[in-house]
Chains A and B, each alone.
Chain A
Amino acid sequence: MKFSFTEDQRLFASGLRDLLANECTPAHVREAWEHHTGHLPELWSRLAEMGVLSMLVPESAGGMGGTLLDAILLFQELGRAGVPGPVLEHMAVAAPALANTSWGPSLVDGSQIATLWVDNSPYVAHAQVADLVLRNDAVITGFSSTDVHGLDGGRQLFTISGGTETSASAGVFGLPASDVMALASAAYLIGASERMIEVAAEYARQREQFGKPIGSFQAVKHLMSDALLKVEFAKAPTYRAAWSASTGAETAVRDISMAKALASEAAYRASRSTMQVHGGIGYTWEADLQLWMKKSWALMRAYGDATFHRRRVGASVLSK
């Protein structure tokens, strides 16, 4: 029994963190919002070069040949930076699912962008910037998209119509696309939550009222500690779910649901507490906090919300 990541896994994640610290600052994320694409082409190229986009594609198809366990800390780093665009959809599902099709090479090198249309939603996130949409049973190209105005500027939502369908399967690693996305989103939400807590802690160290930094007040300390508590206790379940998914464990779906339920609730708690700590500035467009809050509010519901996933866990553990 060994519950830790390898040196290689940690180093790759910290390399990605370094890249994103420069290439995906809050100013970059705002840029993606303001272009109404929710996408950063330069960053996309860098993620392709680094092997992030092809992490889960087999080596035989030109990818990095990683497992979901190899990728889980990367999803978390993407969340810390609030990376906009279809990176999770492309990386976690579309690229590995289509690796051995004619789209494979262009998804590995990032020259084409894929997104997903999962069963439980009428909307397709990131459709405007995507060259292809992978549905459960088909790839759709040449579609037209209508903006339905998503809450998160880095995750624009559309309905799509028309286009050409080619039969394909969105299942990867023996799991449905929506479950792989639930796992990737759980890790992304953990990263986003950590960042919100860091940003609010920094604010609480600087902002003074009653002649003292507000972070010295217990009411603020306890809000922040409780937010951290939920995030910290969502991590191990999320890493375990990645291990279960990577090893084909019987409990993989249950474990993914546990991770998504806990991470969704942790992210919501983090968004509420950190906004409260910011006071009035937290309610402004100007505060960067919204970049991670809105991503959290989008992803906590996408690919199954906490209630959906909790009930799936319940169906597994409460039955005889």
Chain B
Amino acid sequence: MDLNETSEESAFRAEARAWLEANVPTSPLPSFDTEEGFALHRVWEKKLYEGRWSAVSWPVEYGGRGADYIKWLIFEEEYYRAGAPGRVNQNGIFLLGPTIMEVGSEEQKEKFLPSMASSEIVWGQAWSEPNAGSDLAGIRSKATRDGDDWILNGQKIWASRAVWADWCFGIFRTDPTADRHRGLTFILCPLDLPGITVRPIAQLDGDTGFAEIFFDDVRVPVANTLGEENKGWNVAMATAGFERGVSLRSPARFSEAVIRLIHLWRTYADPTDTALSDAVTDVWMQAEGYRLHTYQTVTGMLEGRPIGAEASLNKIFWSEMDVRIHEIALQILGPEAERMEGPFERWVDGFLFSLSGPIYAGTNEIQRNIIADRVLQLPKGM
């Protein structure tokens, strides 16, 4: 164990810091869940790509730096420290990209990865359906083979970024006679094809961060299949495992939020209120604990111990921590916490967004079931 950075890691950190200090927009961009904000975030992603910072852990040939997971964490720390914009193509770069690298064909890698790294193509995700939420294997949207094409029909919902995204990825039922978890296929689909209707859904904060997608005889080439036909569940679970495990919410996001919370506490709170100072200390420990836990996980991955079902622990931990951080901030803000706009709007909006964390990417109740079944080896059942 050596928790000091190597000189190479420190040099990498310094390089990232210098680039970010020179390039991060001086005033925050509008939310990427607005049309204007989405466009500005795409411009920012292109700039990141040109500096080779958009996908640091990817191989150099696809626009990355071949950085290991430790360096990826260091980059994330610098990124949040710099107050840089949210990642509008997160679904692509952190979820789909690694999956394509794992199961995609050479042709697919060349076609999709560089345009993803540069955000020339921004990706939305299309997992859930009106009747397949927590019970994701209940997917009914179909892909029917017709020569070299799939014909897609059905409806997806809660499709993140889909309102302004260029392409989406999702799973479709291709063998209606197979078991629920079989007969599904992972398909990549442009969102501007005939037969596609995207209907924005306003979130709790009023922005349209997700959408419904209706597929009505949409024709896509069979070449857009990712992984094997009828093995889409396995491909999707590889993505979901990585999402829950490490990449979706890197620790730096919370460490930075807690630094802002401590600043808020120092500026506005009554320091003799020990219940409040205990609460602030507690979330500092949570953020620090999540950071340490992630470094331990990532070291294990580098040493050949891949992350398994225990990834679900991470998802519960960070999502509940995020809610707690914002609850405490709103408690400190008092009457200001009632305003959607004003000097503290980031905390109020952040609170609303934090409430989605225990729901998206598999509800925390589903994660608890996964931990009980696969880590604690309790019997299956509801």
**B282 touching A197 by the CB < 8 A rule?**
no
Fill in one digit per residue for B1-29: 1 if any A CB lies within 8 Å of its CB, else 0: 11111100100000000000000000000
* Residue pair A233, B295 in contact (C-beta under 8 Å): no
Return chain A residues, CB-CB under 8 Å to B9.
1
**Residue B288 interfacial (CB < 8 Å):** yes
Contact indicator per residue, chain B 276-294, by CB within 8 Å of chain A (1) or not (0) = 0110111011101110110
Interface presence of B345 (CB below 8 A): no
Q: Which of B47-55, B58-66, B231-239, B370-378 binds A?
A: B370-378
Binds B, one of A37-45, A170-178, A285-293, A309-317: A309-317
Q: Is A16 an interface residue (CB 8 A)?
A: no
Residues of chain A contacted by B288 (CB below 8 angstroms) = 237, 258
Contact A225 B277 (CB under 8 A): no
Minimum CB–CB distance for B114 against chain A, Å:
30
Instruction: Please tell me which one of the listed residues B3, B266, B295, B378 contacts residue A224 in the complex, with CB atoms under 8 A apart.
Output: B378
What number of A-B contacts does a CB cutoff of 8 Å give? 151
In whole Å, how far is A279's beta carbon from the nearest beta carbon of chain B?
16
The answer to whether B317 touches A222, judged by C-beta atoms less than 8 angstroms apart, is no
**CA gap between A232 and B262 in the complex, in Å:** 26
Q: How far is the CA of A81 from the CA of B61 in the complex (A)?
A: 51
Q: Interface residues of B, CB < 8 Å — how many?
A: 50
Q: Of B70, B295, B371, B379, which contacts A228 at CB under 8 A?
A: B371
Known contacts A201-B378, A218-B382: does B1 contact A239 (CB below 8 Å)? yes
A230 to chain B: closest residue by CB: B317
A4 is contacted by which of B303, B371, B379 (Cβ under 8 Å)?
A: B303
Q: Are A318's CB and B299's CB within 8 A?
A: no
CA distance A197 to B377 in the complex (A): 11
Instruction: Name the distance in Å between B302's Cβ and chain A's nearest Cβ.
Output: 8
Contact B4 A201 (CB under 8 A): no
A132 interface residue per 8 A CB criterion: no
- Asked whether A221 lies within 8 Å of B368 as measured between CB atoms, the reply is yes
A21 interface residue, CB < 8 Å from B?
no
Main secondary structure of the interface of B (DSSP, over half): helix
Closest to A314 in B: B281
Complex Cα gap A199–B289 (Å) = 26
Instruction: Answer whether residue A204 sits at the interface, using C-beta atoms and an 8 A cutoff.
Output: yes
B296 within 8 A of A: yes
What residues of chain B lie closer than 8 Å to A225, measured between beta carbons? 316, 367-369, 371-372, 375-376
Partner of A3, one of B3, B286, B367, B368: B3
Task: Return the contact of B296 from the options A6, A212, A236, A261 (Cβ within 8 A).
Answer: A236
Q: Is the CB of B266 within 8 A of A320?
A: yes
Residue in A closest to B262 when the chains form the complex, CB atoms: A318
How far does the Cβ of A4 sit from chain B's closest Cβ, in whole Å? 5
Interface presence of B335 (CB below 8 A): no
Question: B359 on the interface (CB 8 Å rule)?
Answer: no
Distance in angstroms between the alpha carbons of A233 and B321 in the assembled complex: 12
| Chain B nearest CB, measured from A225 CB (Å) | 4
In the complex the two chains form, what is the Cα distance from A311 to B373 in whole Å?
A: 37
Check if B380 is an interface residue, CB within 8 A of chain A.
Answer: yes
A142, B369: Cα distance in complex, Å: 56
Cβ–Cβ contact B313 & A228, under 8 A:
yes
A4 to B188, CA, bound (A): 38
A123 at the interface (CB under 8 A from B): no
Which of B289, B310, B376 is close to A237, meaning CB atoms less than 8 Å apart? B289
CA distance A222 to B280 in the complex (A): 26
A218 to chain B, nearest CB (A): 6
Please indicate which of the listed interface residues A1, A4, A204 has the most CB atoms of chain B within 10 Å of its own CB: A1
Contact digits for A205-218, partner B, Cβ 8 Å, 1 yes 0 no: 10000001101111
A307 within 8 A of B: yes
Contact of A218 among B70, B265, B369 (CB under 8 A): B369
Closest residue on chain A to residue B291 by CB atoms:
A236
- Is B308 at the interface (CB under 8 A from chain A)? no
Among B284, B373, B376: residue with most chain A CB under 10 A: B376
Chain B interface residues toward A at CB < 8 A: 1-6, 9, 70, 262, 265-266, 274, 277-278, 280-282, 284-286, 288-290, 292-293, 295-296, 298-300, 303, 310, 313, 316-317, 365, 367-369, 371-373, 375-382
Question: Chain A residues in contact with chain B, CB under 8 A?
Answer: 1-6, 69, 197, 201, 204-205, 212-213, 215-218, 220-222, 224-226, 228-229, 232-237, 239-240, 243-244, 258, 261-262, 307, 310-311, 313-314, 317-318, 320
Query: 9 tightest A-B contacts by CB?
Result: A216-B381, A221-B372, A314-B281, A215-B378, A236-B292, A225-B368, A225-B371, A216-B379, A3-B296
